[in-house]
């Protein structure tokens, strides 16, 4: 990458100068010549200045050629970013620093100016974010589905003819253990939307002992559900990534309806467009390219494709 080459050159030049300076200092110390000592002092000042300047240069180059992407734990846990981001970094010489949190927290990073780009999946929250002027550009790039995961014993009696709302009502009526992410992530927002369609609000849920708030990412929430034999809502990609470790759980077979579609959108924040205009433009163009969409569409977990792209 270009940034590595630039930094290597700066560090080599600085190191070489310091080596010469140290060699000269030994010679001066063994000499009684005052003029030589004055030259030594001057060289010492130059050496220190070179070190400081090199440090500033390294910091500026690092800051200029990197962006911070705040995304969801579901995207990170799926392994997608590890598979595709190296291509962007190699082509553009721009490092992408990823922070994986819930969508709500990612949007907060964008509001505070702590992130240049967002990759999130809560359309209602994203709309508010854009309307309030925190985002400059937004595009929905790809989607997968939410899935209901539950104990192999299936205590709520959910079957393939149930849609997601009917399945949630069976969990409610039967008092079956349910583990919520509880972190204002896109998955948590979707879960609360489903409960609302069932006519159940969050205050009612808090009163139920069988309703467990994990306050965690998707991977951890799945582990809690596995340990406690509970149901949970997950994106399909993260579930497939964890499936072999979830020995007590299985994917519930329910009717496929529009409610379980899970859209992922890219947002360039206002901060990103001001502080990193060329870098965020490059990232936007790369994410929207046919090459990247093809990589996303062909990404597999255990030989199963997990994302569908909008062309």
pLDDT for 180: 98
pLDDT for 147: 97
State which H helix or E strand residue 301 sits in: strand 300-301
Alpha-carbon span 116 to 287, nearest angstrom: 14
Beta carbons within 8 Å of 195's beta carbon, 6+ residues apart: 168, 201, 202, 205
- The token pair that represents 132 in the structure block: 């309030």
- CATH 3.40.190.10 holds for 145-260: yes
pLDDT for 23: 52
Which residues of the chain have a pLDDT value below 50?
A: 1-22, 26, 28, 41, 50-63
What CATH homologous superfamily does 67-141+264-309 map to? Answer: Periplasmic binding protein-like II (3.40.190.10)
Question: Within 13 Å and on the Cβ side, how many CA atoms surround 258?
Answer: 0
Q: How many residues does the chain have?
A: 311
Alpha-carbon span 252 to 168, nearest angstrom: 12
pLDDT for 269: 98
Beta carbons within 8 Å of 123's beta carbon, 6+ residues apart: 140, 263, 265
Alpha-carbon span 71 to 85, nearest angstrom: 13
**Neighbour tally for 195: CB within 10 Å:** 22
pLDDT for 311: 82
Tell which residue, 249, 247, 232, 251, has the closest CA to residue 306. 251
Give the residue ranges of DSSP H helices in 175-310: 186-197, 202-206, 218-228, 236-242, 270-275, 277-288, 290-297
Q: pTM to 2 decimals?
A: 0.78
**Neighbour tally for 251: CB within 10 Å:** 15
pLDDT for 5: 36
Beta-bridged to residue 66, according to DSSP, are: 95
pLDDT for 6: 34
């Amino acid at each position: 990458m270009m940034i590595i080459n630039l930094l290597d050159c700066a560090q080599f030049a600085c190191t070489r100068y310091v080596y010469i300076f140290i060699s000269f200092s030994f010679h001066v110390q063994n000499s009684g010549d005052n003029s030589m000592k004055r030259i030594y002092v001057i060289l010492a000042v130059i050496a220190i200045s070179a070190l400081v300047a090199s440090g500033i240069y390294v910091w500026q180059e690092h800051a200029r050629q990197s962006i911070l992407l705040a995304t969801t734990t579901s995207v990170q846990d799926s392994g997608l970013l590890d598979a595709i981001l190296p291509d962007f970094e190699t082509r553009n010489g721009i490092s992408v620093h990823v922070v994986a949190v819930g969508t709500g927290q990612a949007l907060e990073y964008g509001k505070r100016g702590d992130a240049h780009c967002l990759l999130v999946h809560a359309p209602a929250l994203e709309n508010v974010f854009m309307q309030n002027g925190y985002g400059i550009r937004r595009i929905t790039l790809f989607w997968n589905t939410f899935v209901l995961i539950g104990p192999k014993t299936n205590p709520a009696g959910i079957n393939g003819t149930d849609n997601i709302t009917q399945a949630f009502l069976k969990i409610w009526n039967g008092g079956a253990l349910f583990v919520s992410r509880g972190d204002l992530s896109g998955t948590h927002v979707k879960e609360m939307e489903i409960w609302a369609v069932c006519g159940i609000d969050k205050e009612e849920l808090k009163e139920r002992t069988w309703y467990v708030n994990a306050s965690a990412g998707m991977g951890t929430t799945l582990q809690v559900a596995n340990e406690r034999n509970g149901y949970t809502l997950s994106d399909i990609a993260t579930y497939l990534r964890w499936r072999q470790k979830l020995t007590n759980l299985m994917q519930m077979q329910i009717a496929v309806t529009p409610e379980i579609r899970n859209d992922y959108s890219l947002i360039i924040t206002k901060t990103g467009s001001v502080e990193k205009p060329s870098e965020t433009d490059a990232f936007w163009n790369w994410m929207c390219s046919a090459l990247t969409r093809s990589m996303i569409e062909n990404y597999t977990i255990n030989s199963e494709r997990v994302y569908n792209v909008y062309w």
